[in-house]
Chain A
């Protein structure tokens, strides 16, 4: 697979991972209009961490570990900033991942 595609996938995984970490916080969960009052914090953080690991693996598949680690760290900075900007101006865009990972019983108030 071309390196550019792998790095793009890594950036996507990193953005998704950072979005999950952000949505694990109650204030951002509500800001995004995700279902329920509280986020399933443990599930969101585990998924977020998993996606960040996937991003790292993709970076390692492209470059020497020293370069891959740097790309991953800086990519996460860009991803975190993008998530913060999305929450500031387009919070509803993060509703979908929130719904996907929401605890249905809790969201329905069971």
Chain B
């Protein structure tokens, strides 16, 4: 097999890194953007550019909106295949929920609808609206919140919803990444000795490997724990025992839990109105305060709406610690009587909540949020330099053998790294250019993203050549710099929120996105310039005029 253990680990690291690296690059990049998903939401939906708000009155403002929510059209269309016979015009309402965080100016309201005659008795669909909590006005459905509704699902599910395929691919990539990290540590001969080593003036191959090692090792705990906690969050999908072989046990446990907690599992069938929910929320806040906890509501859930068995559950927005904490307090919906206060989690539940919270970052801590963002970008840099190292190491040998596989790898690398950035920037430009009233605005925006990304792959395949291997990188980095600058300029022109105005007004959400875009533009321009110099020097060295300082590259060539 392999002569030494280290050679085996090198093979594992190289091929796991290459094959899964394309997926991991997407996961890391959009994961880094998702750290600021709510801020990107505000940038992409100008109507939501105001300060985050606490939960407004349920009884006066939210209840009438919940009553108006209808099932989401795509959910409804998909549900028709899961029922026997036609669906009734009005579906029975099961539950209401409202969710907010300390970074959300707008509120998300969800309603679950039961599916009569469904093949799976528990099957249901959702309807949702986004609300301005100051006025109760609904945001137009075509206003897509790019951060939380496009980048974030792309991070964990790749928008491949069929059979939850995206979750499985991302899970496989995360598992492969754990193996790549461990094998990477094994093959790195001088982990501490070279921890601080970066030689930008050495040969390209050397400096790229230095950067790969640096970004991989300094953020190793971040890379490891994010891959691990990502897997923990979706463990229910990857090990679906509870909904398959252990379904009877799961159902029995659900009934046992309902009996234990006093929160009914099924509606009673007797209609009953809901008691004032605002009084329950105020009571829950008093109870949290008595325990010395920050008392903002993060999640409110009304189960069995309109039934005598209705319950209202109020959860805390746990912003003061890492663990995903809720300290739920539950009330009888028809009377407002206190049913239960959630006890502290056990050891297993506590570990699960901590690992989930570590990944989902509900805490209120801006420096840590920025550090997470940088950790995600370090992961991108590590993967991108891995691609470059792989290609550079094999370029001459493959060219001599006339093998074409490397050209495909290089084109995919360019499209996955630079092309993904170009597509994202094009999406932001489209977001600022398309009319707000356009009916299919969200679909058009998405099409711009996917088609641009496809075009970058076409461009990389067309422009790459053994003579000028860096040309597609240079051109796409330049395009990225131009498009990100254009996005910042268009934001100023179309909304009046120029960078200096947002910063002067202390609007760090919109101003911060603009600043980050300018940062991306600067890095892309610097990379393009550096690669252009390298390409020029490489051509000169091939022509015989070897410049000083590139002996390493030329020697290998």
Interface residues of A in 18-71 (CB under 8 A from B): 18, 21-22, 25, 27-28, 63-64, 66-67, 70-71
Please give the residue numbers on chain A whose beta carbons come within 8 Å of chain B beta carbons, in ascending order.
7, 18, 21-22, 25, 27-28, 63-64, 66-67, 70-71, 73-78, 80-81, 83-85, 87-89
Which of A7, A21, A77 has most chain B Cβ within 10 Å?
A77
Chain B residue total in the interface (Cβ 8 A): 29
Please give the residue numbers on chain B whose beta carbons come within 8 Å of chain A beta carbons, in ascending order.
192-193, 195-200, 214-215, 218-219, 221-222, 320-323, 354, 358, 363, 365, 367-368, 371-372, 374-375, 378
Is the CB–CB distance between A77 and B219 below 8 Å? Answer: yes
Is the CB–CB distance between B321 and A71 below 8 Å? Answer: no
Is the CB–CB distance between A70 and B196 below 8 Å? Answer: no
How long is the Cα–Cα vector from A18 to B367 in the complex, in angstroms? 19
Which of A74, A85, A89 has most chain B Cβ within 10 Å?
A74
- Residue on B nearest A8 in the bound complex, by CB: B367
Is the CB–CB distance between B365 and A63 below 8 Å? Answer: yes
17 example contacts (A-B, Cβ-Cβ < 8 A) are as follows A27-B193, A64-B320, A64-B321, A70-B322, A71-B365, A71-B368, A73-B221, A77-B218, A77-B219, A77-B221, A80-B196, A80-B218, A81-B215, A81-B378, A84-B197, A85-B198, A89-B200
- Residue on B nearest A71 in the bound complex, by CB: B368
Contacts of A78 in B (CB 8 A): 371, 374
Contacts of B192 in A (CB 8 A): 25
Contact of B323 among A66, A75, A87, A89 (CB under 8 A): A66
Contacts of B354 in A (CB 8 A): 66
Tell me the minimal C-beta distance from B365 to chain A in angstroms: 6
Is the CB–CB distance between B323 and A80 below 8 Å? Answer: no
Contacts of B222 in A (CB 8 A): 73-74, 77
Contacts of A84 in B (CB 8 A): 195-198, 214, 218
Which of A70, A75, A83 has most chain B Cβ within 10 Å?
A70
Given contacts A76-B218, A87-B198, could you give 17 more A-B pairs where the C-beta distance is less than 8 Å? A7-B367, A21-B196, A27-B193, A64-B321, A64-B322, A66-B321, A66-B354, A67-B321, A70-B322, A70-B358, A71-B365, A71-B368, A71-B371, A78-B374, A80-B196, A87-B196, A89-B200
Contacts of A64 in B (CB 8 A): 320-322
Tell me the minimal C-beta distance from B175 to chain A in angstroms: 23
How long is the Cα–Cα vector from A74 to B365 in the complex, in angstroms? 13
- Residue on B nearest A64 in the bound complex, by CB: B321
Contact of A67 among B198, B200, B368 (CB under 8 A): B368
